[in-house]
Amino acid sequence: MGKKKYPLFVNKFEAATRNSYTNANYVFKQHVDSLYADSATSPIALTCYNRAKPKYDLYQASHTTHSSQSGTQGGKVQTMKVTLKGMPLHVDDWEAKIRTVYAINSEEYKILFPKGKASFNTGSQQKRVDAVETLLLSIGADASLAAVKVIIQAFYDAMFAAYNVKDVSKKSTKTDSKAIETARINMCNVMEGNYGLLLDANQDEPALASKYFDEAYMSNTLQMSFDLTVKISTTKTAIKRTYVKPLTQKFQITNRTNTVLKGFLSAKRNGLIGLVFVTISPSGVGTYNLTDMGDNATQKFLNIMNTDDKIKADITINVL
């Protein structure tokens, strides 16, 4: 945990909006709107507006694209995980149908299931996709297994589509993330330049420039930050709330790994998840009210659950 500090020659706008594109949009919009309001009567406001507006327009476009694609990726990744989670039941069904044709100790059965059902239910996603494809190839044109092959083929087609789209979605999200980050930094840079221009124009009374920046937000946002790792398939207590305004506090949670996380409040440390929680998408960032995660009047502990059984989750929680 640590307080955010802004050294003199560090871009304060970049520091305040880092890790939150939603917060960035808020800060940028206030700056551009306030400049526009004075642009007809103040030459320096018009100059700063003309510098900032094109950068803000690019940021807004990137933000829209990134938000849409991040949601798509989360859905596609989740679809593949759901498919794999339900796969053992499908495999049991295929194996039972095949056993009615070929005995479990027969040569034909052993060709179809050389390692039993393990290759379908364990291992990497790619290996499990390959196992289904190999089963289809082994069945081939066997007429006695034609009916079960239709069932397996339908499952394989859906599984293969989810697997491929998931990877395309990840690639698109990575590209979109680079675009929005570049747009954010460019907007921060022009805001820092405008800050200097507005201070110069109002050097005898600097407070006159404050209306072009959300000073209260800049002073108070991201004052406390927590970095932590949540092990696979576990829940970790991130914070015990002891703040001055515990009922209205907001949290920004950044998920830096390809995992699905759930955030919730509990009355005890390492409490169990209830009916009220938030879901943080893979490589996603979200800002949440306490009421989104549980009973903010009685539950003091903020917990993060990692639902992935293979990947540890690296996250940052900013107290807003």
**Per-residue pLDDT tens for 90-146?**
889 899 999 999 998 888 888 898 888 888 888 777 788 888 888 888 888 889 999
Contact of 27 with 214, CB cutoff 8 Å: yes
The helix (run of H) or strand (run of E) holding residue 92 is helix 87-99
Which residue segments constitute the domains of the chain, with CATH numbers given?
A: 9-221 (no CATH), 223-319 (2.60.120)
Alpha-carbon gap, residue 315 to 255, rounded angstroms: 5
- Specify which residues 115 forms β-bridges with: 117
DSSP 42: -
pTM of the model: 0.38
- Count how many Cα atoms sit within 13 Å of the Cα of residue 261 in the half-sphere of its side chain: 35
Chain mean position to CA 301: 22
Helix axes 21-38, 43-85, angle to 10 degrees: 160
As a whole number, mean pLDDT of residues 175-189 equals 78
pLDDT score, position 221: 52
Q: What share of the chain is helix, strand, coil (3-state, %, to 5)?
A: 55, 15, 30
- The distance from CA 72 to its chain's CA centroid, rounded to whole angstroms, is 11
Distance CA 279, CA 265 (A): 13
pLDDT in tens, 244-286: 444 556 788 889 899 999 999 998 887 899 999 999 999 888 8
CA angle 58, 63, 69 (to 5 degrees): 130
Output phi, psi for 112, to 5 deg: -75, -35
The pLDDT, as a whole number, for residue 168 is 42
88 contacts: CB under 8 Å, gap ≥ 6: 117, 120, 121
- The H-or-E segment that residue 251 falls in is strand 250-255
Mean pLDDT of all residues in 146-157: 87
Q: Is the pLDDT of residue 20 over 80?
A: no
State the Cα–Cα distance between residues 124 and 131, nearest whole angstrom: 11
